[in-house]
Amino acid sequence: MGLVQDALAGDRRALARVISLVENGGPEGRAALAALHPHTGRAHVVGVTGGPGTGKSTLVNALAGVVRQRGITVGVLAVDPSSPFSGGALLGDRVRMRDLAGDAGVFIRSMATRGSLGGLAQATSDAVKVLDAAGFGLILVETVGAGQSELAIAGAAHTVVVVEAPGLGDEVQALKAGLLEIADILVVNKADLPGAAQAARALGMAADRGGAAGEAGKGGWRTPVLLTAALDGAGVPEVADAVVAHGEHLRARGMWAAHERERARAEFVDHLQRESFARLMAKVGQERVEGWVTRSATREVDAHTAARTVLSLGLACGEADVEREHSSSEGSDYF
């Protein structure tokens, strides 16, 4: 496959094309991923997440700048939401990343979620692999403006940076489960605004208290709380240092490999689910599936029974099995 070879050799146009193929999810994209797979596993993948307007893009811009000065190449994937109505999207993260323009050691790609929940697009992890194979040392993945449960980044990145800004909530917000718990590094951005030190203190206490369970899961890593003013770069080198330190921590504890394995498992299960679902649907046929949907909608059977029956239909070979399964499930599950 010429395109993949060109991308591996550093051709940026080929790289961009391969990301599109992977993002569009067709057979060409799958073939490209298979060819790239042996070249992956070298990059440090860092997620940058946090609420809308906290300064994620600005921090990514500043962080990438610092890391470039240290001679490491940087790939950026910036995810923004697709409209549930039109399917269109406005991808505006590049506006804040103009400092990185013209640097051949940086590659920035915007991605729309295309209906995926969890703060990332379905293909984000695959696009990470493409950048990884192309040799970028650090890959920054900026999620959509996250609420409290857009946590997909935790499974996709080695290190998660959660960005907060002053004035977004009281101490109770800092105690809630979810986003803060997945943070390996907490950043209070816009530290030049009033309330920043207070926010950092509240987050620091929350991070400490999450300690027992949290630290055990993180192999003794204590989540640092760092203050930045990303617009002028203050505090950003310290964030870069913390990212490096976290990477070293993961490797020293054998957690890097464990993380890779978990990610491989999650991807495998995900692909297995989608592939088996698609094959099942193809085997059972649209018409019969719709029939069961109708029966469920008209209260003839419940959705769970309908789903189990259709699954049995798909796994069984002939029509006879289908009918038997239907009547036996009526006998056992209904009453």
Partner 1 sequence: MGTPPRILIAKPGLDGHDRGAKVVARALRDAGMEVIYTGLRQTPEMIVEAALQEDVDAVGLSILSGAHMTLVPRVLDGLREAGLSRVKVYVGGIVPEEDAQALRDAGVVEVFGPGASTRVIASTIQQQLTGA
Q: Which span (103-111, 226-234, 259-267, 273-281) binds partner 1, by CB under 8 A?
A: 103-111
Quick check: 117 binds partner 1 (CB under 8 A)?
no
- 159-164, strands of its sheet edge to edge: 106-112, 74-80, 138-142, 44-50, 159-164, 185-188, 225-227
Contacts with partner 1: how many residues (CB under 8 A)? 28
Least gap, CB of 125 to partner 1 (angstroms): 18
**Would you say 80 and 49 are in contact if contact means Cβ atoms under 8 Å apart?**
no
x/- track of binding to partner 1 for residues 1-30 (CB under 8 A): -----------xx--xx-xx--xx------
Helix (H) or strand (E) holding 48: strand 44-50
Quick check: 94 binds partner 1 (CB under 8 A)?
yes
Pick out residues in 71-90 that bind partner 1 (CB under 8 A): 82-83, 86-90
Q: CA separation (Å) from 299 to 294, 303, 331, 335?
A: 9, 9, 17, 15
Conformation bin of residue 280: beta by default, left when phi > 0, alpha when psi is -120 to 50:
alpha
Quick check: 98 binds partner 1 (CB under 8 A)?
yes
Over its C-alpha atoms, the chain yields an Rg (Å, rounded) of 23
Read off the tokens for 138.
């650090």
Quick check: 91 binds partner 1 (CB under 8 A)?
yes
Identify the burial level of 52 via C-beta atoms within 10 angstroms of its C-beta, where 0-12 means exposed, 13-18 middle and 19 or more buried: exposed
Orientation of helix 255-284 relative to helix 286-297, angle to 10°: 90
Least gap, CB of 6 to partner 1 (angstroms): 11
Alpha carbon distance 273, 40 (integer Å): 23
For partner 1, give the closer residue by CB, 134 or 186.
134
Quick check: 112 binds partner 1 (CB under 8 A)?
yes
For partner 1, give the closer residue by CB, 2 or 194.
2
Quick check: 286 binds partner 1 (CB under 8 A)?
no
> How many other C-beta atoms lie within 10 A of the C-beta of residue 269?
10
Q: Which span (107-115, 139-147, 151-159, 313-321) binds partner 1, by CB under 8 A?
A: 107-115
For partner 1, give the closer residue by CB, 98 or 299.
98
Q: Which residue type does 94 have?
A: R
For partner 1, give the closer residue by CB, 35 or 89.
89
Interaction site with partner 1 (CB under 8 A):
12-13, 16-17, 19-20, 23-24, 82-83, 86-92, 94-95, 98, 101-102, 107-110, 112, 114
